[in-house]
Amino acid sequence: MVQSVQSVVIVGGGTAGWLTAGIIAARHHSRMKAGFSVTLIESPDIKIIGVGEGTWPTLRSSLEKIGVSETELFRQSDAAFKQGAKFARWTTGADDDAYYHPLMLPQGFTQINLVPHWLQDGHGRSFCDSVCPQGRLCDDGLAPKTITTPEYKAVANYAYHLDAGKFAPFLQKHCTTMLGVRHVLADVLTVNQHESGDIVSLTTRQAGEIAGDLFIDCSGFGALLLGKTLGVGFKDCSDVLFCDTALAVQLPYETPDAPMASQTLSTAQSAGWIWDIGLPTRRGIGYVYSSRHTSEEAAHQTLMQYIGPTSQELRVRKIPIRPGYRETFWKNNCVAVGLAAGFLEPLESSAIVLVELSAKLISEQMPANREVMDIVAARFNDVTHYRWGRIIDFLKLHYVLTQRTDTAFWRDNLDPQSIPERLKHLLHLWKYQSPWFFDEFDRLEEVFPAASYQYVLYGMGFRTEVGPMDNADSEPMAYRLMQENVTMTRQMCAQLPKNRDLIRKIHDYGMQPI
């Protein structure tokens, strides 16, 4: 009789482990009475790395599906609204050099490509301001909804900023109390394998032997199962993305009612960039840099100059970044998710969305038995390799469009040898036609759709040649949509509350459950 997959064992907690556990347990909750189980093992001594404070809008649907209260997310995870990213000094390095990558699609995006029309006559407005209201909302410090907007619903599309150190325990409580996930606090001593290479069980110091049918490696950079035990190699991407170190600090606000940004701020520096994320109680700030282009001492000085004078005593954490990913993500009966699968600089908050997408794919394609697991694994590896490649392309796009030549870091990023071939081809194509649905953005769940490429390209001054007659047929619709955007922007700016004011109301009164 063929052995069915009934027991899923996850090694490692943190955001990756608990989000994966929640997504799988929620999807297969009805099977638990028949013996299906999800067990999460984490060491009682290892602290989570907790770098990822930025997310993508996909997290809203992930949390809604597993039954999390959005009100409680805000109350217990020090969460705030994120409406996109503002990139400063990436193009020229000048004080007024900035653009937005918002989370709203351009007006009429499924019907018409507004780029050619904006290029011909943008009335002096940035691309973002011409096609969506979100840049203005962020400039004004506004929230993406009101207190009467139900949980997970939006007026303007949004994601979250959150405290990763609080988010993981929040998920843990939900998964164990509401979804039946078994939580084991124990150190893994040995990984026991079948002669085929499959993992049979884990021997732990505190809980003895734990067997399973499918093992998910969420053990962080160490990749205990997939890397150390199964010997899957690592594909280094430092030849494309140079940043390999981060210095991070937590900076409390000077006053409790200080303005709180509604976007991630990413400010380019001489050898990398600084993130600045506003949570309700503090800001998370960090310098992501290339150790080949600056020293730790100089990087520390750059970070302190950005923060400016402060009476706060700051503890700076150094976080090594090894840019790249596993050569295979699912081998035998083991699949890696989160840092065990790989890591790239957090320029576009791609870490948590990759966890979500991987967990969703595992839960939806959960192999019925070991007989078909290799077929499912091959599919998973194909899709996940594609996603990592597209994220690397998109991150590199931010660097190759720069006009900065003031330091070796920026000059080296423009070296054609460091640019992926696919991105080179697309950049050549985009000189003559702007990004659109058919430019290889053909997967069902693209991490970054064509609109994201548009916001970065035209935010950084890229120009696409547009013929005088190219837009003739669609001109009336384009004009109408851009006028509607002006009206919508005015209305939203008048109606939406300040970011901090809405979060205070959520803490006091809560949002309406759906």
Residue predicted with more confidence, 45 or 20: 20
Q: How many domains does the chain have?
A: 2
- pLDDT at residue 215 above 90? yes
- Residue 355 sits at φ, ψ, to 5 deg, of -60, -50
Q: Indicate if 232 and 268 belong to the same structural domain.
A: no
Residue 229 belongs to a domain: yes
Mean pLDDT of 422-444: 82
310 with 167, same domain? Answer: no
Whether residues 177 and 296 share a domain: the answer is no
14-28, 112-126, 166-180, 486-500, range with the lowest pLDDT = 112-126
- Residue 207 banded pLDDT, cuts 50, 70, 90: very high
Residue corresponding to tokens 């992930």: 62
Among the three residues 390, 412, 437, which one is the final residue of a domain in this structure?
Answer: 390
Question: What pLDDT, on a 0 to 100 scale, did the predictor assign at position 444?
Answer: 56
Over the chain, what is the mean pLDDT?
Answer: 94
Whether residue 171 is found in the same domain as residue 313: no
Q: At residue 232, does pLDDT exceed 80?
A: yes
Q: Would you say residue 36 has pLDDT above 80?
A: yes
**Residues 311 and 173 both lie in one domain:** no
| Whether 345 and 231 share a structural domain | yes
- The pTM score is 0.95
Residue 120 lies in a domain: no
371 and 232 assigned to the same domain: yes
In a domain, 496, yes or no: no
Same domain? For 332 and 189 the reply is yes
Q: Which residues contact 122 (CB under 8 A, 6 or more apart)?
A: 130
Residue 478 falls inside a structural domain: no
**How does residue 312 score in pLDDT terms, banded at 50, 70 and 90?**
confident
Asked whether residue 470 is assigned to any structural domain, the reply reads no
Whole-number pLDDT of residue 311 = 74
Q: C-alpha distances in angstroms, 323 versus 235, 326, 388?
A: 9, 11, 11
Residue matched to tokens 């949004």? 158
Please check whether residue 368 lies inside any domain of the structure: yes
Question: Could you say which of 366, 390, 414 is where a domain stops?
Answer: 390
Pick the residue with more confidence: 439 or 261? Answer: 261
Catalytic pick from 33, 47, 65, 82? Answer: 82
> What tokens does 6 get?
């009934």
Q: Is the pLDDT of residue 470 over 80?
A: no
User: Which of 390, 418, 434 is at the close of a domain?
Assistant: 390
Which sign, positive or negative, has the C-alpha torsion 102, 428, 92, 290? positive
Kindly state the average pLDDT of the residues 218-241.
97
Q: Which domain holds residue 287?
A: 249-320
**Residue 310 pLDDT greater than 60, yes or no:** yes
Pick the range with the lowest mean pLDDT from 52-61, 171-180, 385-394: 52-61
Shared domain for 184 and 224, answered yes or no, is: yes
Q: Quick one: how many helices (H) and strands (E) in the chain? A: 15, 21
pLDDT tens digit string along 237-261? 999 999 999 999 999 998 989 999 9
Phi and psi angles of residue 11, each rounded to the nearest 5 degrees, phi first: -105, 115
Q: Are residues 308 and 255 in the same domain?
A: yes
* Statement: residue 2 has pLDDT above 80: no
State whether 309 and 328 are in the same domain. Answer: no
**Secondary structure, 3-state, 209-264:** EEECCEEEECCHHHCHHHHHHCCCCEEECCCCCCCCEEEEEEEECCCCCCCCCCCE
Contact 274/286 with Cβ under 8 angstroms? yes
pLDDT at 123 over 90: no
In a domain, 25, yes or no: yes
- The CATH number assigned to the domain holding 207 equals 3.50.50.60
Task: Reply yes or no on whether 431 is catalytic.
Answer: no
Say yes or no: 265 and 385 in one domain: no
Residue of 227, 224, 218 lying closest to 9 (CA atoms): 218
Q: Is 473 part of a structural domain of the chain?
A: no
pLDDT at 48: 66
Confidence tier at 97 by pLDDT (50, 70, 90): very high
